[in-house]
Structure 1
Amino acid sequence: MPKARLTVQQQFFGGSAEARRPGATFAQTMTATPAPLVACLCAAWCRVCDSYHEVFAELRARYPATRFVWVDIEEDEELIGDLEVETFPTLLVGLGSRLQFLGPITPQLATAERLLTSLAEAPATAAAPPSAQALLARLQQSCS
């Protein structure tokens, strides 16, 4: 089975309207929704990912109710499954069993915070690809 290709285009996925209140912050939305998860998909050889460790640690400190997971796509190839990540760092954000975002992100704290804030009010758009949704399910299961 060929791997799904993740391009440099960011992908926002539909979510539960009841989980997002207008004006709610990401932290409020995440605490109102079961099993919040932010995963960084990187590779050990990626120097940009090396520098992103500090940003990711700061995000973890700022959002204590959210689970943050660092995933090396080569070391954790079985976990990644059919999803092929081509650009680093790539973030996966899930609220419960719903995939909200999957895409590359520039390695600055402000960029990640803007993304997380925008997800609190993001309208439902497209359905997530099955390989991305399956990765979220595996991550949720491995983090529980």
Structure 2
Amino acid sequence: MSHTDDHGDATWWVACLCAEWCGVCREFRPAFEAQARAHPGLRFAWVDVEDEADAMGDVDIETFPTLLVGRGDQPLFLGPIPPSAPGLARLLATLRAHPKPAAGLSPAAGALLQRLAADVLPNALV
């Protein structure tokens, strides 16, 4: 299944994988939502990994916040990030300028992106 926007371009997904109980995630959420407003061409989603345990599959998120970035069906980044707006902005700028998978990207990232994009991400948009 290919995800495209209204212009036929691949949809960019930026998903923050978090947990409701995580204070760092709660503090980071306003900065994440600000980045969503600053990048209207990207689709940002806030995903509670405990609420979406089935979609997470075998992927274990151990550090919060963890970011999943994908373009269409291709994952570009999956990993923990410092909870800062400037750091997130730099990561997104780098990935948009050079949309290729990050070094060391987990093989499970593609399957996770497909599972989340099918049901979870559209319902978790910020």
- TM bracket, shorter-chain basis: 0.7 to 0.9
**RCO higher in 1 or 2 (8 Å CA, sep ≥ 6)?**
1
**After the TM superposition, which segments of 4 or more aligned residues of structure 1 sit over 2 Å from their partners?**
120-131
TM-score by structure 2 length? Answer: 0.81
Q: Report which stretch shifted further, 119-128 or 45-54.
A: 119-128
1:52-78 Cα deviation digits (max 9, x unpaired): 110111011001121111111111101
In 2, Cα distance between equivalents of 1:75 and 1:98: 24
TM-score by structure 1 length? Answer: 0.71
- 1:120 Cα offset (Å): 2.2
Q: Does 1:59 align with 2:35?
A: yes
Specify the structure having the higher radius of gyration (Cα): 1
Residues 56/139 of structure 1: CA separation in 2 closer, same or farther (3 Å cut):
same
Pairing 1:1-144 to 2, within 5 Å after superposition: 33-122=9-98, 124=100, 128-142=105-119, 143=122
Q: Report which stretch shifted further, 117-126 or 92-101.
A: 117-126
Which residue identity is paired with 1:105? I
Instruction: Please say if residues 78 and 106 of structure 2, whose CA atoms lie closer than 8 Å, have aligned partners that are also in contact.
Output: no
RMSD: 2.1
Q: Structure 1, unaligned stretches of length 5 or more? A: 1-30
1:13-47 Cα deviation digits (max 9, x unpaired): xxxxxxxxxxxxxxxxxx88411100000011111
